[in-house]
Structure 1
Amino acid sequence: MSQAQHQAGAQPAPDGIQWEDGKPSLRLGAFTLEPLVRLDADAGSFFGQDRTGGYRSGVNLRRGRLGLEAGLGEDFTARFIWEFGGSSPNDYNNIYEAQLAYTGLGWGTIRIGAFQPQHLPEYAGSSFDLPFMERAAISNIAASLASGSTRLAAGLEARGGFGEGGARWNASAYLTGGVASTPHDHRQRGVAGRAVALLPEWSGLQLQVGLNGAAQFHPGTSPGPESIRLRDYPELRIDSRRFLDSGTIRAGSAWAAGPELAGRMGPLYVEALWQRVEVDAATGPARRYEGWYAEAAFPLLGKPRERSDETGIWKRPKPDGGMGGLELAARYSVADLRDGDGGARQDIWTIGLTWFPTDKLRFGIQYENGRTKLADGNRDFQAVGLRAAFNL
């Protein structure tokens, strides 16, 4: 919850500039304003590649965001964020977020603009909370149809408690358009949503089950008129090459859906997702793809992950003074975009170590061992990635 939102239900602070928890804010009556800053600097090295023309090592300003969040009375917030970083060294400078939210329902939020819908577990919260540098490939592929970052959308995010304290279920639904940062993509039309429920705790086990889905009813004009292209990076974004690629498919519609599972047993956190993706091709039969991931995270220092009532995800471990929070995580992910003699399948094992010295800083290192299966043979690779990040 932002400071502007938190203060909406608290005793009003005096007008003027305030400084709380290392973050400044301006208050003028019922109006509040605070800065938003996010910087992610990445470096990575690929090795163990047995074929020429493979992934290239490098550095990247993965995220460089500057923005403002405003509290407009007790029930409205607005955010505007500009992105100076990018997914690859050639992708810089665009709108990241421009949204208006109504929070006066108490049990939910109505949101409209360009933002990140709560559609998948890895997209329901901030990327600063992820156990790894990047989301699993299947999450990005499924989100590319009707959600993901910078999506033009209008929707409702709800939560409730089944008569108990705290929110034990979360549900969201959105009507979506194109991606604000992609030129000429505004003709796209779709829907996306997610529903999760936290089961009663049993012998110290917190278990959440859910379903999510997205459908694109009208493709936009990117990568071409009435076409869809599914692809992603090798779960590092320091090179623009993407061998995991379905190619451009002339299509009228597409959808992705599947179950998700998350929970905590003591300090150990686990999460898993499966997705079926289907494209209604203009010629020939429908194209069917799938993917999944399973991951676990364990705190070596600090507190374990805690569930957020707002989003239904387990947020990053909170630093517990001293050396902060240190988390060890492992993931196996699969994204299969093969279709006949075309497409590709990507399998990656990842192990990562992330240090949160404070709530606003994170430093991470991860190792990947992956394989991309192509029609002309496999491409094996290994990689080491580094990230230094700041979030205000």
Structure 2
Amino acid sequence: MKTPARRVLPAAILASLFCSVAPAALAQAVTTASPKPSGISQERALALSARLDALEKRNEELEEQIADLKAQVAAGEGQIREQVAAQPTVSLNNGRPTFTSLDGNFKFALRSVVQFDAAHYDVSPLRTDNDLGSGTNFRRARLGFDATVYKDWNIALWGEFGGTGGESAVLNQAFVEYAGWRPFGLTEPLRLRVGAWATPTGLEDATSNTEGLFLERAAAAELVRGLAGGDGRTGFGAFARGERWYGSAVLTGKVVGTPSTAEYNQQSGYILRAAFSPLHGPDYDLHLGASLQGILEPADTAAGPAEANAVRLAERPEVRVSGARLVDTGAMAANGLQVLGLEAGASWKNLYAAGEWFQVDVSRTQVGAVRSPFDPSFSGWYLQGAWTLTGERHPWSSANGGFNGVKPAKPFSLEKRTWGAWELAGRYSVLDLNDKAGSAGAAAPLGGVRGGEQKITTLGLNWYPNNVVRFLLDYQWVDVRRLSAAGARLDSDVGVVSLRSQFAF
């Protein structure tokens, strides 16, 4: 038993010593072990942190600059838009260059009309007094502008470079007009105008010469137009209109340009006209109207205390390639004249008809050296109609108190196989410049006027390729019956074929 005890005791002492020493040694090993190096020094870490702060600050500054640039660009774009929006608008409606301010208070439109006519006359019997020369002529060659300034003022300036072949360039119209007053409850402004222009003297004259059915107006309408109205007639007037009515009152003077005979006191005259459309619908219009116009005092063509006042009534056939007049009263000493006109017209779908009647009463003062035994009277009238083969119609407008021309619904195009508008037209007109003319073979009675009677039948074919260009082909049968002062017959039978090529905007 002693032997096992001796072995156990030393073993227990060794185990006790090992257990007491091992934890201390382990603790010493842990506390004395050095940490593993990281690879970045503290100084470098501080430098990187400072640089990162600087970059963040710079980024903030750049973001602020970008925001400022965006604001500046946006403001610039706004200014550019405002400047662009403030620029005048440009349009080419129906080929007419028009510039309009943003607020609509200013407008400028370039205008032009060119009509090139060709005609062939067949006259029987041919004499020196009725030799109508065949050929060509620029009937109208106009260039000018219409403008609106400060919303309520209208101005126009047009030059005329055409005519009947013998005229030089002349002023066609130049006027200033105020259109900012609406008295008496008018829906449209009362227009007050001064200058030179052509006031409509009747229904045919109320239709623009670029939209008429034939090359020329009916002879009676054209003659009356030239008495107190016509192109380039100076004057002062007022114009009023509503939706279905029109009225005008104008005091007129001379025609601009140099007269063929020197004038020492210019002509003065007047034009009064009223028109309305009592029946109106989407495809029909009825027109009724009347006019009263006259010469208050003819031009004085004598210098000094003596006066020489006279009027003369003369008219060409309804083509102006030749300037010869087949009916002519000659100069009549007079202190004035008066014209009464009645007018009517209607359109229904693609059918149109119109007519006018005029009576001209001359206040004649003398015949030669003898006091005039009577005041001569003359008359004229016409009827005309049209059938638009392609279906377009002639609408009524209160702008001038008359009918507008045809506007093709489908402009001419070979690619689209559309042919514009086509129209057939016819007219019969009479102009009687005789009064107490007496009989053939004898001298005219005292005071009798042998101006002649002219009757014209016209057939026409019109082609409107578009709203700018058109072509008119007419044939006329002209019948003139006239006596010379001695009683000889000065009759004429004329056949005329004519063609007009036109552009207008």
TM-score (norm 2): 0.70
Query: Where does residue 298 of structure 1 map in the other structure?
Result: 387
CA contact (8 A) 1:328 1:352 kept: yes
| Partners of 1:99 and 1:112 within 8 A in 2 | yes
Q: Cα–Cα, structure 1 residues 48 and 343, in superposed 2: closer, same or farther, change >3 Å?
A: closer
- 1:313 alignment partner in structure 2: 402
User: What letter is aligned with 2:266?
Assistant: R
Match of 2:432 among 336, 347, 352: 336
Question: Which one has a larger percent helix, Structure 1 or Structure 2?
Answer: 2
Q: Does 1:220 align with 2:293?
A: no
Checking the alignment, whether the CA contact within 8 Å between 1:14 and 1:27 is kept in structure 2 is: no
Counterpart of 1:129, as a letter, is: E
Distance 1:300 1:150, change over 3 A: same
**In structure 1, what is the Cα distance between the partners aligned to 2:341 and 2:193?**
24
- Counterpart code for 2:90: Q
The Cα shift of 1:15 comes to 2.1
Residue 15 (structure 1) aligns with: 87
What's 2:499 paired with? Answer: 386
- Residues 174 and 47 (structure 1), Cα distance of their counterparts in 2 relative to 1, 3 Å cut: same
CA shift for structure 1 position 225: 3.5
Once the two structures are superposed, what CA deviation does each residue of 1:135-169 show, in whole Å capped at 9, x if it has no partner? 11111221222112211111111112xxxxxx111
Alpha-carbon shift at residue 67 of structure 1 (Å): 0.7
Aligned 8 A contact 2:123 2:492 in 1:
no
The answer on 1:25 being equivalent to 2:98 is yes
- Check the 8 A contact 2:284/2:347 in 1, yes or no: yes
Q: Partner letter of residue 156 of structure 1?
A: A
Query: 2:144 aligned to 61, 67, 90, which one?
Result: 67
1:13 and 1:123 mapped to 2: Cα distance?
Answer: 41
Distance 1:182-1:274 versus aligned 2 partners, 3 A rule: farther
In 2: Cα distance, 1:58 partner to 1:204 partner: 41
One of 220, 231, 235 as aligned partner of 1:149:
231
Q: Which position in structure 2 is the counterpart of 1:267?
A: 350
Alpha-carbon contact 2:273-2:291 (below 8 Å) kept: yes
Helix, strand or coil: the match of 1:358?
Answer: coil
Q: Kindly indicate whether the alpha-carbon contact (under 8 Å) linking 1:96 and 1:181 is maintained by their aligned counterparts in 2.
A: no
Q: Distance in 2 between matches of 1:369 and 1:209?
A: 29
**For residue 56 of structure 1, what is the amino acid of its counterpart?**
G
Query: In 1, distance between residues paired with 2:209 and 2:326?
Result: 24
In the alignment, the residues of structure 1 paired with residue 454 and residue 420 of structure 2 have an alpha-carbon distance, to the nearest angstrom, of 35
Of 268-277 and 143-152, more deviation after overlay is shown by 143-152
Residue 41 (structure 1) aligned with residue 116 (structure 2): yes
Of residues 242, 245, 248, the one that matches 1:169 is 245
**C-alpha spacing 1:130/1:247, structure 2 compared with 1 (3 Å):** same
CA distance in 1, matches of 2:273, 2:317: 26
Contact 2:202 2:341 in 1 (8 A): no
Matching residue of 2:211: 129
Q: Quick one: distance in 1 between partners of 2:196 and 2:308?
A: 22
Q: CA deviation at 1:374?
A: 1.1
Secondary structure of the 1:143 match is helix
Rounded to whole Å, the distance in 1 between the matches of 2:87 and 2:201 is: 38
Check the 8 A contact 1:145/1:254 in 2, yes or no: no
Tell me the amino acid that sits aligned with residue 348 of structure 1.
Answer: I
Q: Quick check: 2:96–2:111 contact (8 Å CA) kept in 1?
A: no
Q: Structure 1 pair 318/226, CA: closer, same or farther in 2 (3 Å)?
A: same
TM-score under structure 1 length normalisation: 0.90
Report deviation, 1:16: 4.2
The 8 Å contact of residues 343 and 356 in structure 2, kept in 1 or not, is answered as: yes
Write the letter of the residue equivalent to 1:99: F
- In structure 2, the CA distance between the partners of 1:204 and 1:67, relative to structure 1 (3 Å rule), is closer
Question: Amino acid of the residue matched to residue 221 of structure 2?
Answer: S
Alignment of 1:354-373 (within 5 A): 354-373=462-481
| Distance change in 2, residues 1:182/1:267 (3 Å) | farther
CA drift of 1:108 comes to: 3.2
Match of 2:36 in 1: none
Deviation at 1:61, TM superposition (A): 0.6
Superposition deviation, residue 32 in structure 1: 2.6
User: Is the Cα–Cα contact under 8 Å of residues 311 and 331 in structure 2 kept in the other structure?
Assistant: yes
1:25 Cα offset (Å): 2.9
Shift in alpha-carbon separation, 1:42–1:15, aligned structure 2, 3 A: same
**Which deviates the most, 75-84 or 145-154?**
145-154
Q: Which moved more, 1:127-136 or 1:18-27?
A: 18-27
User: Structure 1 residue 237 and structure 2 residue 320: aligned?
Assistant: yes
Structure with max Cα Rg: 2
Worse-superposed segment, 178-187 or 32-41: 178-187
The two structures, once aligned, show a CA RMSD in angstroms of 2.2
CA pair 38-336 structure 1, distance change in 2 beyond 3 A: same
Instruction: Tell me the residue number matched to 1:3.
Output: none
Is there any run of 5+ residues in structure 1 with no aligned partner, and where? 1-11, 161-166
Match of 2:173 in 1: 97
- String of CA shifts for 1:235-264, please: whole Å, max 9, x gaps: 000112112111011110101112111111
2:285 is equivalent to residue 206 of structure 1: yes
8 Å CA contact 1:302, 1:317 repeated in 2: no
- Judged with a 3 Å threshold, the aligned counterparts in structure 2 of structure 1 residues 46 and 168 are, in CA distance, closer, same or farther, namely same
Q: String of CA shifts for 1:48-87, please: whole Å, max 9, x gaps.
A: 522333322111011011111121121111000011101x
CA contact 1:302–1:318 (8 Å) conserved in 2: no
- Helix, strand or coil at the partner of 2:132: coil
**8 A contact 2:348–2:393 mirrored in 1:** no
Q: Is the 8 A contact 1:145 1:255 kept in 2?
A: no
- CA separation in 1, counterparts of 2:397 and 2:278? 15
What is the total number of aligned residue pairs between the two structures?
374
Q: Is the 8 A contact 2:123 2:132 kept in 1?
A: no
SS at match of 2:225: helix
Question: Bigger CA drift: 224-233 or 254-263?
Answer: 224-233
Q: CA separation in 2, counterparts of 1:218 and 1:13?
A: 54
Paired residue type of 2:432: D
2:460 to 352, 368, 371: 352
Cross-structure match for 2:276: 197
For residues 289 and 203 of structure 1, what CA distance do their matches in structure 2 show? 39
